[in-house]
Chains A and B, each alone.
Chain A
Amino acid sequence: MSVRKAQRSLTAEAFGKFLRWLSDDDEQAVREYQSIRRRLVRYFIHKGCTEPDDLFDETVDIVVGKIDACEEIVSPLAYCHGVARNVWRQWVRRHRTVPVTREFVAPEPDDSIAREQELRCLEHCVAQLPPDERDVVIRYHSSRGRARIEARKLLAGENGGVNALRVKACRIRKGLRLCVTACLRQSAKVRSLGAQ
């Protein structure tokens, strides 16, 4: 895995110019920016890029440089996507010869206390789920092999089919991931307090 470069950041002037291009209304411009950022970062992730945030910044840099020359743009998102596609192609050319390492295949924390804390946070977050969601996530991930297949068939029947179940399980896991991240952040704060 390549080492992540230092985070690029837009200059305040360039960022302001980009926001004004999105909308004259400040709030609307920020909303548009957040929406474009989320979608384009997701695009770079889908394209297997190792630095999706940096590539988004690079995209905005290029767009800002072209704003003055731009004719009336109907959809800033579609325009940014076009630029992002070129940024991705350049990234592919740059990384074509990068050797693949497999260190990410089994990333485990070395710190057993951190691991224990992570498990505790997961338990805490699972316990905090509404009962129906907790039931889905536990049954979805329970057991192995044939028993798991049967359990998922049963769950799919109860949740509107396989695709609907998959989307529901994905939503619940996403919520759990956010909850665990917040929980770990809090624990880290307490630990750093203890270390002082």
Chain B
Amino acid sequence: MTGSNPDHDLIREYLLGRLDDNETTETKMSEEILLDEELAEVAESVEDEILEEYVEETLGPADRKSVEEYFLRPPERQQKLRFMRILAQQLASKPVPVVHDRAINTSEAKREPRSSHGRSERVVWWRIPWVYGQIAAVIVLGVSAASYVTLTQHKQAALEHDLDREKAHSASLAKQATQLQPPLVALSLVASRPRGAGTNEEIPRLEIKASTERIVVEIAVEHPRPGAYQVRLEARGSEEPIWRGTLLPIISEDGDARLVFDLPAKGLNSGIYSIAVSEPPNGGAFKYYDFNLTAPR
């Protein structure tokens, strides 16, 4: 990047068409972006930021107007907007780690100061006549002992409170760590068996976490046929499919065909599952792709 990089806000103004009436600044900006690929990348990221804010509806009225009347005119940006929407819709429902608030608990700040009640009473009692001295001494000792016990109890309560807070913090961090696990896991299946055949070979294993929401399945298709494939998920020993779908295969540049789809992970228990695939035209025999799932209890 050049040494005299325009700042983020200026790039944003440029992209929203607000520098068009300021020829000197506009020319400088467009030349810098034209010649400096790194700056062009920054400009592209600011462009994405504008689209994000538009999708999230967090733009102010003036910016929104500029986006709708200027920024979104090129078809390329409309395509980017569409993609941004799809991405946001698909991923927005995912949980994110909650940042633990490390601010001092207000209840801690409000914790009662050490009581001086006993000591002040003791001062009063020292002022009464000597004949009551011994009685007073006993009472003072008693009050002091009570104060000491109260103080100790307060300290213990404060320690217990701190301990509870730390436990809550640890639980929050553990939850955060769990949520950091990706909500998608991938499962690639290659070998199939006909219905009723035993599974002699070791079947693929898949472990999902509590945070796993979906399993992205990829099945290699040999000799792809035109048309839609019927796919269903079955648990071993159950005739009733848990999930079913109709899919078109994705074919790579090399001609390799795959069925790619995602299954909901919630509600799946540990055990052997099969994905049954029927080739088009519909009604063909199903091939079974088994996998061994380990799910959290």
- List CB contacts (< 8 Å) of A100-117 with chain B: 100, 102, 104-105, 107-108, 117
Residues of A within 8 A of B280 (CB): 194
User: Is there contact, CB below 8 Å, between B33 and A46?
Assistant: yes
B8 nearest CB across to chain A (Å): 7
A81 contacts chain B at the CB level, 8 A cutoff: yes
B27 partner residues in chain A, CB cutoff 8 A: 85
A17-57: which residues lie under 8 A (CB-CB) from chain B?
39-40, 42-50, 52
Residue numbers in B under 8 Å from A77 (CB-CB): 34-35
- The answer on a CB contact under 8 Å between A150 and B218 is no
Chain A residues with Cβ below 8 Å from B82 are: 107-108
0/1 per residue, A171-190, Cβ < 8 Å to B?
10110110010010011011
> Given A48-B17, A163-B8, A191-B248 in contact, is the A124-B92 Cβ separation under 8 Å?
no
Q: Determine if A39 and B262 form an interchain contact, defined as CB atoms under 8 angstroms apart.
A: no
1/0 per position for B71-95, CB-CB distance to A under 8 A?
1111111111111101110111111
Other-chain residue from A39, A118, A135, A195 in contact with B34 (beta carbon distance below 8 A) = A39
B295 contacts chain A at the CB level, 8 A cutoff: no
In contact, B99 and A150 (Cβ under 8 angstroms): yes
Q: How far is the CA of A139 from the CA of B280 in the complex (A)?
A: 38
Q: How many A-B residue pairs have CB under 8 A?
A: 190
Q: With A46-B15, A48-B73, A127-B186 in contact, do A139 and B33 touch (Cβ < 8 Å)?
A: no
A193 in the interface, Cβ–Cβ < 8 Å? yes
**In the complex, chain B residues whose CB is within 8 Å of the CB of A180:** 83
Q: Across the interface, do A154 and B97 meet the contact criterion of CB distance under 8 Å?
A: yes
CB closest residue in chain B, given A80 = B34
Query: How many whole Å from B258's CB to the nearest CB in chain A?
Result: 8
Interface size class of A (residues with CB under 8 A): 35 or more
A87 to chain B, nearest CB (A): 13
A contact residues around B72 at 8 Å (CB): 104-105
Which stretch of B40-48, B108-116, B133-141, B165-173 is in the interface? B40-48
A141, B76: Cβ atoms closer than 8 Å? no
Complex Cα distance, B73 from A4, in Å, reads 12
Residue of B41, B46, B226 ringed by the most chain A CB atoms within 10 A: B226
In the assembled complex, how far is the CB of residue A153 from the closest CB belonging to chain B, in whole angstroms? 7
* Known contacts A50-B74, A104-B72, A189-B251; A177/B92 CB under 8 A: no
> B81 and A107: CB pair below 8 A?
yes
Interface flag for B228 (CB, 8 Å)? yes
Most chain A CB neighbours (cut-off 10 Å) among B75, B95, B183, B228 = B75
Residues B216 and A123 in contact, CB atoms below 8 Å apart: yes
- Which residues of A are interface residues toward B (Cβ below 8 A)? 1, 4, 39-40, 42-50, 52, 77-78, 81, 85, 92, 100, 102, 104-105, 107-108, 117-124, 126-127, 131, 134-135, 137-139, 141-144, 147-148, 150-151, 153-154, 163, 166-167, 169-171, 173-174, 176-177, 180, 183, 186-187, 189-191, 193-196
Q: What are 11 A-B residue pairs whose CB atoms fall within 8 Å in the complex?
A: A1-B73, A47-B20, A49-B73, A107-B78, A108-B82, A120-B260, A124-B260, A138-B184, A167-B42, A190-B226, A190-B250
